[in-house]
């Protein structure tokens, strides 16, 4: 039952999780590598927020592209 | 197989099968080398890049090349073309099939069972798992769908083949590996974000696009259902050596046990049968295929 719920959650929210974790990490790494927003304390929030937002938009649209 | 009365005895299925069998016996050592070799190269990129011995962009290019070479060795394994019916060698099919697909992040068993259904129901809109790719309206849409992940409808085919116990069991057997391939990049990306993106995620996408365009789309474009009608001979500006000779994919659909590198010779021998059976494009097959790039400008 719990496994089923986990599977349901993953299949329903996988785009948002992917956006938050994968895209967020990549955006954060790119921002740091190119010293963008260097003096801002909110780089991490921006990077992971942008990733999660992209994922959320993909979930609402039902497709990434 | 029931023969059409229009087909002369010279071109009977039995004779065709006997000729094809001559090309279905050789040990496919090249494919094993390519499959395990690309996986080993891909794996070695990680320590090389992480230790600064190799530039990340160079690593990305090599990883993308590895990903483009990843599917075909697994495909031979899916057809049992390494063991060739020898139960003692069946492990080799599974071993090469699994290892080769790590670069593409696909579980072997899911690709194996869906590919078998693709062969059994080629061009059937309901039952062919490759139908959405093979019958898309343009190559750009195929690329978009693969990048999007929207053509991976494995769940749909579990429902379609719900009565096929072997299919369902193999599907469930592959779930842990499928989960691992989903989770591993998500964990790796936290520790090595750009390396995960450029050594695994993006190359796997590029490899999937390459594989889908040349294995699913072009060979079945504009074809219908039926043993001799569902795959075509085609050619374009690209030399066949660049796209894994998928111009010749039709012979694989007719005789899946013919080894990939033996297909040119098999087609040369079987050409009269292919023309008599009116395989799409068969009249344009040149007499000599071996070392012929099959360019059409």
For residue B208, the model assigns a pLDDT of: 96
Give B252's contacts (C-beta < 8 A, 6+ positions apart): B231, B258, B260, B263
pLDDT given for residue B61 in this prediction: 98
Residue A40 predicted with pLDDT over 80: no
Write down the pLDDT at residue B120.
96
Residue B128 CB-half CA count within 13 A? 21
| 3-state SS class at B202 | helix
The pLDDT of residue B154 is 80
- Compare all CA atoms of chain A with the CA of B185 and give the residue at the minimum distance: A22
Closest CA to B97 of B110, B86, B84, B85: B110
Torsion region of B291: left, alpha or beta (phi above 0 gives left; psi -120 to 50 gives alpha): left
Closest in A22, A28, A63 to B186, CB measured: A22
How many structural domains does chain A have?
1
User: Containing domain of residue A43, as a range?
Assistant: 2-61
pLDDT for the residue numbered B5: 64
**For position B294, what pLDDT does the model report?**
93
How far from A23 is each of A19, A37, B106, B283, CA to CA, in Å?
5, 18, 21, 50
Whether residue B197 lies within 8 A of chain A, CB to CB, comes out as yes
Question: Which residue out of B193, B202, B208, B209 would a mutagenesis test of the A interface target, given it has the greatest number of A Cβ atoms within 10 Å?
Answer: B193
- Which among B149, B150, B197 has CB closest to A26? B197
**CB of B26 closer than 8 Å to CB of B262:** yes
Q: What is the mean pLDDT of each run of 10 residues along chain B (297 residues)?
A: 67 93 95 97 98 97 98 97 95 97 96 96 95 91 90 84 94 92 95 98 97 95 94 94 94 96 96 95 94 90
Look at residue B155 in the predicted model and tell me its pLDDT.
81
Torsion sign, CA atoms B212, B106, B23, B289: positive
pLDDT at B2: 58
ipTM above 0.95, yes or no: no
Q: What is the pLDDT of residue B149?
A: 83
Helix (H, G, I), strand (E, B), or coil: what is residue B137? coil
User: What is the structure's pLDDT at B44?
Assistant: 98
Which residue from B28, B40, B98, B27 is spatially nearest to B66, judged by alpha carbons?
Answer: B40
pLDDT score for A26:
97
Q: Which two tokens stand for residue B108?
A: 């072997």
Show which of residues 1-40 on chain A sit within 8 Å of chain B, judged by CB atoms: 10, 14, 17-18, 21-22, 25-26, 28-30, 33
pLDDT over 90 at A2, yes or no: no
């Amino acid at each position: 039952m719990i496994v089923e719920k986990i599977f349901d959650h993953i299949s329903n929210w996988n785009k948002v999780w992917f956006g938050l974790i994968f895209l967020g990490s990549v955006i954060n790494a790119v921002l740091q590598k190119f010293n963008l927003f260097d003096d801002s304390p909110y780089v991490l929030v921006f990077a992971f927020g942008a990733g999660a937002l992209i994922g959320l938009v993909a979930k609402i649209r039902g497709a990434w592209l | 197989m029931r023969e059409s009365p229009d087909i002369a005895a010279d071109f009977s299925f039995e004779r065709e099968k006997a000729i094809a069998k001559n090309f279905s016996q050789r040990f496919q050592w090249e494919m094993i080398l390519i499959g395990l070799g690309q996986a080993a190269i891909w794996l070695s990129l990680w320590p090389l890049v992480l230790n600064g011995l190799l530039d990340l962009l160079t690593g990305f290019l090599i990883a993308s090349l590895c990903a483009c070479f990843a599917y075909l060795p697994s495909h031979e394994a899916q057809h049992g073309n390494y063991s060739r019916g020898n139960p003692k060698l069946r492990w080799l099919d599974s071993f090469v099939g699994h290892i080769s697909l790590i670069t593409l992040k696909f579980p072997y068993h899911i690709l194996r069972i869906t590919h078998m259904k693709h062969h059994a129901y080629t061009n059937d809109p309901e039952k062919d798992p490759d139908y959405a790719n093979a019958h898309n309206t343009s190559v750009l849409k195929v690329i978009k769908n693969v990048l999007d992940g929207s053509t991976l409808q494995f769940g749909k085919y579990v429902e379609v083949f719900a009565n096929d116990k072997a299919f369902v069991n193999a599907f469930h057997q592959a779930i842990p590996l499928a989960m691992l391939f989903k989770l591993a990049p998500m964990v790796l990306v936290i520790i090595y974000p750009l390396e995960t993106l450029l050594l695994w995620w993006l190359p796997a996408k590029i490899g999937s696009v390459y594989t889908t365009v040349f294995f699913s789309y072009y060979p079945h474009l504009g074809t219908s259902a039926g043993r001799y009608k569902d795959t075509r001979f085609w050619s374009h500006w690209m030399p066949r050596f660049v796209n894994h000779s998928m111009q010749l994919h039709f012979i694989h659909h007719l005789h899946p046990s013919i080894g990939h590198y033996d297909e040119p010779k098999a087609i040369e021998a079987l050409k009269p049968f292919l023309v008599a059976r009116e395989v799409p494009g068969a009249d344009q097959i040149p007499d000599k295929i071996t070392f012929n790039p099959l360019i059409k400008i």
